[in-house]
Structure 1
């Protein structure tokens, strides 16, 4: 169960924080990666519907 929990927790870190060695447990959590993945960030307009 611990590896799965670790992956989920790491997914909420920024890319730079997730890549540190040793990993920092006190790094701020963010949803930015999920927003970018699902296309919820500004910039590109959505395609035709």
Structure 2
């Protein structure tokens, strides 16, 4: 849902020929970086998992 709203907003600014799409692109880039780095961080084993089992 958020993705389609961002894409529509970026598209509207591009069609209006102004530079308002730059913050939108930066936001989408930050969203993608956050999503992929969060999933990569979850792949590793937790160092606290063994302490909880003991």
TM-score normalised per structure 1: 0.36
Which structure has more RCO (C-alpha within 8 Å, separation ≥ 6)? 1
Q: Higher helix proportion, which one?
A: 2
